[in-house]
Amino acid sequence: MKNPIGLRWVLGLCVFAVTAASYAQWSNPADDVPAYHPSAPLSVGKLPHILAGAELTGENFRYPWQIHVYQQAIKIGNVLYQLPCNCRCDKALGHTSLRSCYETLHGTECSTCAKEAIFAYHLTKLGRTPAQIRAGIAHHDYENIDLDKQ
C-alpha cells in the first residue's frame, strides 16, 4: 500500500460528488413538482379527515366559496390526494398533496389551493383522471376560476 490516505481522499471525493449530483437541491427547478401521491390511498380511514360540518364555521369561513370548496373536497378526497398544490405548501407547511390543504384551515386562506380543488372537482365530474387533472394544474389551467362565483 503506497498511499492509503490519498486513496481515502479520492474515494471520499467520489462519494461526495455522487451525493452532490443526486441531491434534490441541485436539480432543475423546472422539474421541481410539488408533493403528491401517484396513486389513490390504500385506506382512506388512515388519513386525517377533511374538515366538514360544524368545522366549516367561524371567522375562517367568511365567504360562501370557502365552505363550498371544503364540501367539494370531501367528495373527491382520493383525487386531491393524488394532486400537487402549486402554492408550495409542501415546502412551507409539510403538506403531502392538495388533500392536506383541506385537512386544515389552509384551504380557506389560499386562493391557489381553493382554485385547484374546484378545478379538480369539475374535471373529476367530467370523468378526467388524476393524471389529466395534474397536467392541468401543471399548466395553471385553474387560475381563471372566480372563487366568488362558486
Burial class (CB in 10 A: 0-12, 13-18, 19+), 87: buried
Q: Using 50, 70 and 90 to split pLDDT, how confident is the model at 22? A: very low
Taken as a whole, the chain contains a residue count of 150
* Euclidean distance between CA atoms 32 and 34, whole angstroms: 7
pLDDT value, residue 7:
60
* Euclidean distance between CA atoms 80 and 99, whole angstroms: 5
Q: Is 38 within the bounds of a domain?
A: yes
pLDDT value, residue 43:
79
Mean pLDDT of all residues in 14-22: 42
Q: Is 105 within the bounds of a domain?
A: yes
pLDDT in tens, 103-146: 999 999 999 999 999 999 999 999 999 999 999 999 999 999 99
pLDDT value, residue 19:
41
pLDDT at 66 over 70: yes
pLDDT value, residue 20:
38
Q: Is 103 within the bounds of a domain?
A: yes
Q: Is 19 within the bounds of a domain?
A: no
Q: Is 13 within the bounds of a domain?
A: no
* Euclidean distance between CA atoms 41 and 32, whole angstroms: 23
Q: Is 9 within the bounds of a domain?
A: no
pTM: 0.77
Provide the number of structural domains found in the chain: 1
Q: For helices 111-125 and 64-75, give the axis angle rounded to 10 degrees.
A: 50
Which of 41-50, 87-96, 105-114 bottoms out in mean pLDDT, i.e. has the lowest?
41-50
* Euclidean distance between CA atoms 10 and 5, whole angstroms: 9
10: amino acid identity, one letter: V
CA-nearest of 50, 48, 52 to 67 is: 52
Indicate the DSSP class of residue 50.
P
Which of 23-32, 77-86, 100-109 bottoms out in mean pLDDT, i.e. has the lowest?
23-32
Q: Is 16 within the bounds of a domain?
A: no
For residue 67, the enclosing domain spans 34-149
Classify residue 4 as left (phi > 0), alpha (psi -120 to 50) or beta: alpha
Q: Is 40 within the bounds of a domain?
A: yes
Averaged confidence pLDDT in the chain? 85
